[in-house]
Amino acid sequence: MREEPVPRTMRVLVASAPDPASVNQRAALCALATWEEAGRFEGSPVLAHGRWTLLTIRELHLERDHLDRDIEATLGTRPELLVYLSKHRSESRTPSLTVHPIGNPKAAEFGGKPGTFVPASPAWMTAALRRLRIEAQELPYEVTFEATHHGPYLETPTFFIEQGSTEREWEDLEASKAIARTLLDLRPAEAPAALGLGGGHYVPRHSDLAVARRIAFGHMLPSHSLEGLPPDRIDAAISGTPGASLAYLHRKSLGKPEARELEALVSARGLRVVREADLPPLEENKAS
């Protein structure tokens, strides 16, 4: 039984007990803001700060499908947004802070369902990338989007915010604080939602465009995921990007025939294919 009413509209931050970076991000959030206990979820406290709710799960994030459904069943309110606090791991071992949507364009090697996209949150996720670049500008980290990948499976708009790529970075409290400051000060970006196509796993072209121009990315499918991808998976990525009206292709990463085919496909679905020059610069960038 909860001691305080959970907010009617919940934006939920999810920490994972076995994930050291996630635990540090949770600690940073608790240190930087005043939270009130608002019940229990599976034996752990539910904390509330404004319209944010912070809870901890026992499993690794990837291993827990349907968390949104379980939150609703336990707390009586379905979240409007889930943000997972997480570690990041990469073979390059590059110190990185990343933001990304979730789902599996092809196989489900790391949780979730194959060929299924969890709803993205373009306005919130793009705002998180922009803010994180500001908060971490004095830190030795690359701050970037990642393309859509891995689980868990949910039906609520969701994104991951991560620090890595090794144990050393997972324990870096300054990186955790940068993530906490980003989330506590977060406001959704005011920009049209877009599907991103092409590029590598870290989609640098989409990342740079998102912090310079009025565009908010949802699902981003890198070149390697697009190879042999059936059209219905593109349809699913569009459906999983709420409000999508634009598509941006990283053309240099795609062959000309492939780019033309993708442009025709998304245009037929009602998306406007844009280039950088088509997008207004952000006001703060114009001022600088």
pLDDT of residue 2: 43
Q: Where in the chain is the domain with CATH 3.40.630.50?
A: 11-184
pLDDT in tens, 167-184: 999 999 999 999 999 999
Nearest Cα residue to 250 out of 215, 227, 271, 220: 220
* Res 42: pLDDT: 96
First to last CA, the chain: 51
What is the model's pLDDT at position 165?
A: 94
Once rounded to an integer, what is the mean pLDDT over residues 192-211? 97
Strand pairing category for 96-100 and 44-49: unpaired
In tens, the pLDDT along 114-133 reads 999 999 999 999 999 999 99
pLDDT of 8 reads 54
- DSSP letter for 28, please: H
What's the pLDDT at 92? 86
C-beta of residue 127 within 8 angstroms of C-beta of residue 161? no
pLDDT at 90: 85
Written as one letter, the residue type at 38 is A
d(Cα 152, Cα 233) in Å, to the nearest integer?
A: 18
pLDDT reported for residue 3: 41
Query: Domain 11-184 carries which CATH code?
Result: 3.40.630.50
CATH node for 193-287: 3.40.50.10700
Element (H, E) at 159: strand 158-165
Q: Please compute the mean of the pLDDT values over residues 52-62 and round it to a whole number.
A: 96
What pLDDT shows up at residue 91?
Answer: 79
pLDDT over 70 at 208, yes or no: yes
Tokens 């915010």 appear where? 161
- Kindly state the greatest CA–CA separation across the chain: 60
pLDDT surpasses 80 at 107: yes
Residue 284 pLDDT grade (very low, low, confident, very high; cuts 50, 70, 90) = low
Q: Which residue has the tokens 């609520």?
A: 156
The pLDDT of residue 30: 98
Q: Is the peptide bond prior to 7 cis by the omega test (within 30 degrees of 0)? A: no
Average pLDDT over residues 234-254: 97
Per-chain mean pLDDT for the chain: 94
Residue 287 has pLDDT above 50, yes or no: no
pLDDT in tens, 1-43: 344 455 456 999 999 999 999 999 999 999 999 999 999 999 9
- Residue ranges of the chain that CATH labels 3.40.50.10700: 193-287
Phi (first) and psi of residue 27, to 5 degrees: -60, -40
The pLDDT score that the predictor gives to residue 283 is: 79
